[in-house]
A and B are shown apart, each in its own frame.
Chain A
Amino acid sequence: MKKLIIVIAILFFGKGIAQQDSTAVYKKRVLEQTEVDFLASYYSQDGSNAAVSGGIGTEELTDVVPNFIVRMPLNDDDVLTVDLGISAYTSASSSNVDPFDSSETANPFQASSGASASDLWVNLTGTYSHSSDDRNDIWSGKLSISSEYDYFSIGFGGSYTKLFNEKNTELSLSGNIYLDTWNAIYPSELRPFVSDGDGLSNGLFTQNTITGNPNYSPVFTEFDSETRNSYSLGLSFSQIINKNLQGALLLDIVQQQGLLSTPFQRVYFNDVADSFIQDFQLADAIEQLPDSRFKIALGGRLNSYLNETFVLRSYYRYYTDDWGITSHTASLELPIKISQKFTLYPSYRYYNQTAADYFAPYETHLSTEEFYTSDYDLSEYNANQFGFGISYTDIFTKFHIWKLGLKKADVKYINYKRNTGLSANNIALGFYFVMD
């Protein structure tokens, strides 16, 4: 059977390769002009299952993300892309890490307004790509750095793409490695219980009254290692099927190792008496998840040019991992060209997932378990997402800012709702320029 598969593969792929371009063609620059994209988005969400407060409490979050992407032709064959993204967010998950740092009464359904309420994430990615003279081979290398208050990441990767069959078929192989480091921030009531901490003698407990169980004794030790490494391998195959139809199959395999728990996410046990300060329940423990995770995602895209007005973009993904999660994602988008310059983008996306083996809601886990989390991002749920966008295109780039001519502008609104109660809205803007 193995031999048969190998023979079939050689025959088909051999045939494909044999059809590749054999005649020399005019060598067009891979990228004619420098392109500058400016993207910005505003995201907001709310719900009542915050992971930072053990599966109850506000999930309120807002995030503003400006993003600059510059693509520069270095010569006929090489392109350098620089992508700078900044995410400025305020969230309950940040603020309720320390719910006692403001003058208001601590409450899981009220985001604290203290110093921990906001943070900044910055990412810089550089990608260099080189194309062969016949444009049938493309190599690229990537380096990225991201940083936020409690997280630092350095990533690098590369890819090789082969086009053949008169550029009707494309195979691409990519690999990425991320070496990440947490600067673990623990819930404020647990910090006195670190190895050299002063426990219940800490000012938090002497200056506030513990109600419920006054003998507060959490299950807590600091994480030994704060590193998280991710290794991914991607394979994609795309094919022009006919003049109006093309599709792609995408495979990603990912292995993650290290600290996969989020250090500030609380867990409340069913078999431990509850302790409170003000209206906030003190953590029994923090989330504990295995130190490795193996993920496989298999996706497919099929895009159809229906006529001069309509294009249909479809996507499906199956995902599974060794934490017990499987998920299905399906989306449809129907670009409608209402004029030469304007296109509408109505879209719908359905998503579902099963729960991780280690998930249980608020006050359901037992203290005898090895792994536990009440993060609803790892729970069973389904989500519906509706979107609508408008795009403006000017191939003559009449509108100018300095030396930049506006080629295209986009705006898109998304409404996302989970059946567990979380709802989110995202509005994105995009301005795409070419340099004169």
Chain B
Amino acid sequence: MKRLFFLLLIIGSLSSCVAVKEYEKVNINDPDMVLSQLKIDKSETTFQSYREASSGANGGKTGGGCGCN
């Protein structure tokens, strides 16, 4: 319960940060700043999901769709 409380607190605190205006987002909009995997990493994420027991939380496969782990 404590963990959930702190998680909510952190999430809530972040969302209450001073908003960065659209015209200030030049650096944030840099293609290398995207919060998903880069397109070129698609095959890398796929082979990892086959070779490793864990998956998910990375924008790739979470399970299903292949005979992999």
A432-B52 in contact given A311-B32, A343-B32 (Cβ < 8 Å): no
Interface size bracket, B side: 35 or more
B4 smallest CB distance to A (angstroms): 7
B15 touches A305 (CB 8 A): no
B28 smallest CB distance to A (angstroms): 6
Q: Which listed residue, A242, A303, A432, touches B20 by the CB 8 Å rule?
A: A242
Q: Which listed residue, B13, B33, B43, touches A428 by the CB 8 Å rule?
A: B43
Instruction: Check A284 for interface membership: any CB of B closer than 8 A.
Output: no
Nearest to A123 among chain B residues (CB) is B65
A297 touches B21 (CB 8 A): no
Residues of chain B within 8 A (CB-CB) of A167 are 22
Instruction: Check A430 for interface membership: any CB of B closer than 8 A.
Output: yes
Q: Which listed residue, A230, A239, A299, A356, touches B63 by the CB 8 Å rule?
A: A230
B43 touches A327 (CB 8 A): no
Q: Which listed residue, A67, A146, A247, A424, touches B66 by the CB 8 Å rule?
A: A146
A254 touches B56 (CB 8 A): yes
A121-B66 in contact given A244-B28, A377-B51 (Cβ < 8 Å): yes
A11-B12 in contact given A356-B53, A432-B39 (Cβ < 8 Å): yes
A176 touches B51 (CB 8 A): no
A151 to B48, CA, bound (A): 19
B30-60 contact mask (Cβ, 8 Å, vs A): 1 or 0: 1111110011111110111011111111110
A254 to B55, CA, bound (A): 10
A178 to B69, CA, bound (A): 14
A60 smallest CB distance to B (angstroms): 14
Instruction: Check A182 for interface membership: any CB of B closer than 8 A.
Output: yes
Residues of chain A within 8 A (CB-CB) of B31 are 393
A239-B15 in contact given A299-B57, A325-B54, A410-B39 (Cβ < 8 Å): yes
Q: Which listed residue, B39, B47, B69, touches A426 by the CB 8 Å rule?
A: B47
B64 touches A325 (CB 8 A): no
**Interface residues of B, Cβ cutoff 8 Å to A:** 1, 4-5, 8-9, 11-17, 19-22, 24-25, 27-28, 30-35, 38-44, 46-48, 50-59, 62-67, 69
**Interface residues of A, Cβ cutoff 8 Å to B:** 1, 4-5, 8-9, 11-13, 15-16, 19, 37, 39, 41, 43, 45, 63, 65, 67, 121, 123, 144, 146, 148, 150-151, 153, 155, 164-169, 176-178, 180, 182, 228-230, 232, 234, 237-244, 246-252, 254, 256, 262, 293, 295, 297-299, 301, 303, 305, 311, 313, 315, 317, 319, 321, 323, 325, 327, 329, 335, 343, 345, 351, 353, 356, 377-378, 383, 387, 389, 391, 393, 410-412, 414, 416, 422, 424, 426, 428, 430, 432
